Amino acid sequence: MLFDPNFIARLIPALLEGAEVTVELAVLTFLICLVWGLPVALMQAMRGPVAWIAGSYVQIVRNTPLLIQMYLIYFGLSMVGVPLSGFASGLLALCLQNGGYVAEIYRGGLQAVSARQYEAGRALGMRPWTLYTSVILPQMVARVIPPLTNQAISITKDTSQVAAIAVMDVMKISQVWVESSANTYDVFLGVALIYLTLTTIVSLVGRFAEQRLAFAA
């Protein structure tokens, strides 16, 4: 029987408990990537070995599956005597991969700023730090809000993969309930609604930020 009211009444609290872990992972990953992606993007704009190292990092994390990265961190670090919890391993893998994507978003935003802005700042005698913080980065921020919103949505959905390393997020809890009840339809429909709600909230927040920045500009 689809939509068994009694079953759903017992399922919802469990899924919401898992959703707390999902939200925590998604928020932490996004905030860390916002910070981590900027120096990587700036390193890519440099020349020499620094740019090569940053570029190699971005290519490696973007072109290998997130699940493989999680396994390498979770099992690999344990093998060398540095065990991490499933939550910490999942968070690290999410940050490493999405940090590469955020760095590329920042790099695109920096390249979108007119070269004349750089030239004007240098002509006025601005130091590089002042030029970037006062002129370049404020213009870049308005350009990167839409792609950052899309990345935040991707991060929210990608957190589902931490279930593979025994993190009790909404996906792992749903798997436990399916195994114990065999009610696959109701369980995964509930999970889909939770992810849809979370990503809708992220989208609305992104649109609000974009409108505020456009209004301020």
The gap from C-alpha 106 to its chain's centroid, in whole angstroms, comes to: 14
Whether the predicted pLDDT of 148 surpasses 90: yes
| pLDDT at residue number 195 | 96
What sections of 113-216 are H helices per DSSP?
Answer: 115-123, 128-131, 137-158, 170-181, 184-216
Q: For residue range 166-189, list pLDDT tens digits in order.
A: 899 999 999 999 998 888 888 999
d(CA 208, CA 163): 31
Question: Which pLDDT band, with edges at 50, 70 and 90, does 39 fall under?
Answer: very high
d(CA 166, CA 200): 26
Whether the predicted pLDDT of 2 surpasses 70: no
Whether the predicted pLDDT of 47 surpasses 70: yes
| pLDDT at residue number 216 | 47
Region 47-53: mean pLDDT is 91
d(CA 29, CA 159): 9
Q: For residue range 102-147, list pLDDT tens digits in order.
A: 999 999 988 877 677 666 777 777 777 777 767 777 777 888 999 9
| pLDDT at residue number 118 | 67
CA distances, 47 to each of 43, 54, 196, 205 (Å) = 8, 11, 42, 36
Lowest mean pLDDT among 45-59, 140-154, 202-216: 202-216
Q: For residue range 69-91, list pLDDT tens digits in order.
A: 999 999 999 999 999 999 999 99
Domain residue spans in the chain? 5-216
Q: For residue range 4-26, list pLDDT tens digits in order.
A: 778 888 888 999 999 999 999 99
Region 25-48: mean pLDDT is 93
d(CA 38, CA 129): 14
Region 143-172: mean pLDDT is 94
Whether the predicted pLDDT of 203 surpasses 70: yes
- Encoded tokens for 71: 């396994």
Region 31-44: mean pLDDT is 94
Residues 6+ apart with CB under 8 A from 156: 22, 26, 195, 198, 199, 202
d(CA 44, CA 59): 12
Whether the predicted pLDDT of 3 surpasses 70: no
d(CA 149, CA 147): 5
CATH fold label, 5-216: MetI-like fold (1.10.3720)
d(CA 25, CA 88): 9
